Amino acid sequence: MRNILLIARRDLSGFMHGFGGYAIVAAVLAIDGLLFNAFAMGSTAKYSHDVLRDFFYICSGTTMIASVMLTMPSFAEERARGTDVLLSTSPVRDGEIVLGKYLASYTMLSVLTLLTFYMPLLVMYNGKVSAAHIVVGYLGLFGLGAATTAIGVFTSSLVRNQFAAGLLAGVGVVSLLICWLLAEIVEAPLTDVVSYMRLFDKHFLPFQEGRLLLTGLVYYSSVSALFLWFTTKVVEGRRLS
């Protein structure tokens, strides 16, 4: 655990001392605020529940985008700079390296997500929504962010260029997003499998509505664990080669 935290602190320090991390956080918060005022609040009267639902819908998209952008440099930048040699030759297990880098990116994403908290508080202050709806919605955002962050860390481990890593992560996330479409094409018994893989509409929509489903949390945890395992295997293979 100590090694994981050391690697996470090292990467977090890179975020804090560089311009990129702050730029991503500022840009995503600005987009969240603009979309919240333009679409969630809107010009027509809405029930507070609908405003809060639209807020989580907006944040789900920006959370996925932010996770891809924050994970782009996690492994790819190390390889481009040649500093990955320091990690591969250090007495640290590959799984600890992967978890440390994942923890750093996910911490940044979590902080970004929490910084949007003032918006649902405004809805609560000016209308009538339950605190449970807010908590459940944020649980969904954290779960969704955990899964897409793991995908981003995995694709960053595959290539040397961080922009290529971001493109691959985007393809991976979009592939899971459109599983609802693939489910209508494939035949049984794959239909149920592909349908279960839907990243957004099957697993996030209940959280968006304020309904806590443990199956959604299990799904996001499973996707995160699977892609972190893939990443560990990639790092192990590179160390042995």
- The answer to whether the beta carbons of residues 213 and 207 sit under 8 Å apart is yes
Spatial CB neighbours of 82, under 8 Å, sequence gap ≥ 6: none
Record the tokens describing residue 104, joined without a space: 């750093």
Q: How far apart (Å, rounded) are the C-alpha atoms in residues 183 and 187?
A: 8
Query: CA 28 → CA 187, 193, 214, distances in Å?
Result: 39, 33, 28
At 116 the three-state DSSP class reads coil
Rounded to the nearest integer, the mean pLDDT of the chain is 85
* Confidence at residue 148, expressed as pLDDT on a 0 to 100 scale: 95
Record the tokens describing residue 52, joined without a space: 């809060």
- Quote the DSSP letter at residue 41: I
* Confidence at residue 113, expressed as pLDDT on a 0 to 100 scale: 94
* Confidence at residue 160, expressed as pLDDT on a 0 to 100 scale: 86
As a whole number of Å, the end-to-end CA separation of the chain is: 26
* Confidence at residue 237, expressed as pLDDT on a 0 to 100 scale: 80
Q: How far apart (Å, rounded) are the C-alpha atoms in residues 34 and 11?
A: 30
Spans of the chain, pLDDT less than 70: 40-45, 83-89, 180-190, 239-241
* Confidence at residue 203, expressed as pLDDT on a 0 to 100 scale: 86
Query: Nearest-CA neighbor of 183 among 193, 170, 171?
Result: 193
In the block, residue with structure tokens 């809805």: 123
Q: Is the peptide bond before 189 cis (omega within 30 degrees of 0)?
A: yes
Domains of the chain, residue spans: 2-240
* Confidence at residue 47, expressed as pLDDT on a 0 to 100 scale: 78
